[in-house]
C-alpha cells in the first residue's frame, strides 16, 4: 500500500489524494484534493468531466495527537457541457458553504457531556466560541412526544431572563431529562403537561412537598401514585435536631460551642454506624442537655421509620415516632409533626415505590457545575440546550 493510501485510510478520507503534509508546533496542514470523477450537473443533470478551474479552501478537521488539523483543499469547479453551469464538486466530509468537517462538529457535540465551558471546547478543537454555540443551538431538543411511566418534578435556581427558578422534569426509570421549563409557575407546568396524550399512563410522580405540584398531579395525572421523596422528609427531622443543638449550644462556653459545632455530623449520623470512639463522644455530648438527649432519641426513631421495608411497617413505626415526640414536647419538632400529618399518605407511598428524586437531585448538582463553569447563563434557550446535551448524551 502506498504511503498516501495509508494516510487516507488512517484519516477515513480515502476519497482524497494527499499531496503534502506540513507539521508545526500546534497544527498539521494537509494539502489535499479529491480524486477526479464524473459529476452530475445540479441544473440539468447531465454528466460532465470538464474542469472549469480550481479554488483553494481552508477546512478544519478533528485534532490529531493534540494538534489542530487543517486541510488546504484544492477544490475543483466543473463546467457542464450542456447548459454551461459552473458548480463545485461534492465532498461528503464538508457540507456546502462550510469550512469545518462534519466529524469535527460531531466531536464538538460529544464534548458537551464533559462539563466544559464553550471556551474550553473551542480551544481544544481549534474553532471559535461562536461556532461551538451555534452547534449547540442547532441540536434538536424539542418537546418530547410522550410522558414516561415514572415522572419526577423539581425546581432549581437558574437565573435566566425568565426568572431565578426553573422547573425540571425527569424520567428516573430511564435516567434522562424529560424537559426543562422556563419557570416554576404552576400555570406553565399545567399547560405543558396538559398537551401530552398519555397522561393517564403515568404510574408514579415523584416530587417534594409542594402543594401546587400535588394539585397538578391530581388534576392531570389521575392514575399516578404521588410519592414524596424521602430526602425531603428526613430533612425536617435533621433540621429539628440541629435547632435543638443550636439552642442548647448557645448556653455553653465558647470552647464547648466550637466543639459541638464541629461535632454536629456525629449527632446526625446513625448510631449503629459510628465507631466505638465516636459513640463515646456522642454519649459525652448528650450529657450536656436533656432536650438534646430527647432530640437524639427522636432522630434515631425517625431513621428507623425511614428504614422500613414497606408502607405497613412504616405506618407502625411512624406511630411510634409520634408518641415519643408528644412525650418529649420539643417545639423544634412541631414542624416535622405537622409535615407528617399533612403528607402522610404520600410519604408512605415512598416505601412501596422503587423510585425517588435521587436522579433529579443529581441532575440539579450537574446544573450547578454547568453554571459555575460558564459563569452563569442568561439565555434560557442556550441554558436548556446545554443541560440536555450534557445529561442526555
Of all helices (H) and strands (E), which one includes residue 238?
A: helix 230-249
d(CA 393, CA 388): 8
φ/ψ of residue 267, rounded to 5: -70, -30
Residue 124 lies in a domain: no
Residue 126 lies in a domain: no
One domain for residues 7 and 82: yes
Read off the pTM: 0.83
One domain for residues 209 and 257: no
Residue 113 lies in a domain: no
Q: Find the angle CA(306)-CA(220)-CA(201) to the nearest 5 degrees.
A: 75
Domains held by the chain: number: 3
Residue 222 lies in a domain: yes
Which residue reads 392514575 in cell numbers?
A: 223
pLDDT of res. 1? 47
One domain for residues 253 and 194: no
One domain for residues 222 and 183: yes
Mean pLDDT, residues 334-343: 95
One domain for residues 334 and 368: no
Query: Of 99, 133, 167, which residue is a domain's last?
Result: 99
d(CA 61, CA 28): 10
One domain for residues 56 and 203: no
Residue 86 lies in a domain: yes
- Does residue 4 register a pLDDT over 70? no
Residue 130 lies in a domain: no
One domain for residues 280 and 190: no
One domain for residues 245 and 342: yes
Residue 110 lies in a domain: no
Task: List the domain range (segments joined by +) for residue 264.
Answer: 238-349
Query: Of 332, 349, 366, which residue is a domain's last?
Result: 349
Q: Helix 290-306 to helix 311-328 angle, to the nearest 10 degrees? A: 170
Mean pLDDT, residues 95-118: 86
Task: Quick: pLDDT tens for 311-327.
Answer: 999 999 999 999 999 99
Residue 122 lies in a domain: no
Amino acid at each position: 500500500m502506498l504511503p498516501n493510501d495509508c494516510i487516507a485510510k488512517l484519516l477515513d478520507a480515502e476519497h482524497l489524494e494527499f499531496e503534502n503534509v506540513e507539521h508545526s508546533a500546534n497544527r498539521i496542514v494537509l494539502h489535499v484534493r479529491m480524486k477526479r470523477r464524473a459529476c452530475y450537473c445540479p441544473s440539468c443533470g447531465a454528466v460532465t468531466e470538464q474542469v472549469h478551474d480550481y479554488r483553494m479552501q481552508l477546512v478544519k478537521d478533528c485534532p490529531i495527537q493534540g494538534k489542530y488539523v487543517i486541510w488546504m483543499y484544492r477544490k475543483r469547479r466543473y463546467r457542464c457541457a450542456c447548459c454551461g453551469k459552473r458548480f463545485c464538486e461534492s465532498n461528503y466530509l464538508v457540507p456546502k458553504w462550510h469550512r469545518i468537517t462534519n466529524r469535527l462538529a460531531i466531536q464538538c457535540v460529544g464534548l458537551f457531556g464533559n462539563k466544559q465551558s464553550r471556551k474550553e471546547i473551542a480551544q481544544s478543537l481549534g474553532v471559535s466560541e461562536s461556532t461551538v454555540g451555534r452547534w449547540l443551538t442547532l441540536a434538536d431538543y424539542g418537546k418530547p412526544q410522550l410522558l414516561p411511566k415514572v415522572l419526577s418534578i423539581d425546581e432549581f435556581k437558574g437565573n435566566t431572563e425568565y426568572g431565578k427558578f426553573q422547573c425540571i422534569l425527569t424520567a428516573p426509570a430511564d435516567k434522562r431529562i424529560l424537559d426543562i421549563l422556563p419557570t416554576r409557575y404552576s400555570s406553565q407546568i399545567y399547560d405543558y403537561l396538559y398537551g401530552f396524550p398519555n397522561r393517564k399512563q403515568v404510574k408514579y410522580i415523584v416530587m417534594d412537598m409542594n402543594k401546587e405540584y400535588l394539585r397538578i398531579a391530581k388534576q392531570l395525572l389521575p392514575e399516578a401514585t404521588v410519592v414524596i421523596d424521602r430526602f425531603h422528609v428526613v430533612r425536617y427531622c435533621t433540621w429539628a435536631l440541629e435547632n435543638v443543638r443550636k439552642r442548647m449550644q448557645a448556653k455553653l462556653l465558647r470552647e464547648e460551642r466550637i466543639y459541638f459545632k464541629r461535632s454536629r455530623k456525629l449527632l446526625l449520623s446513625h448510631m449503629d454506624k459510628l465507631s466505638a470512639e465516636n459513640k463515646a463522644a456522642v454519649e459525652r455530648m448528650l450529657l450536656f442537655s436533656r432536650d438534646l438527649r430527647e432530640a437524639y432519641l427522636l432522630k434515631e426513631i425517625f431513621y428507623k421509620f425511614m428504614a422500613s421495608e414497606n408502607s405497613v411497617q412504616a405506618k407502625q413505626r411512624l406511630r411510634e415516632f409520634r408518641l415519643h415526640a408528644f412525650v418529649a414536647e420539643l417545639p423544634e419538632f412541631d414542624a416535622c409533626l405537622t409535615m407528617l400529618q399533612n403528607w402522610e399518605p404520600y410519604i408512605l407511598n415512598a416505601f412501596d415505590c422503587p423510585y425517588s428524586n435521587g436522579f433529579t437531585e443529581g441532575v440539579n448538582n450537574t446544573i450547578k457545575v454547568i453554571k459555575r463553569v460558564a459563569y452563569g447563563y442568561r439565555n434560557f434557550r442556550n441554558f436548556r440546550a446545554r443541560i440536555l446535551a450534557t445529561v442526555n448524551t
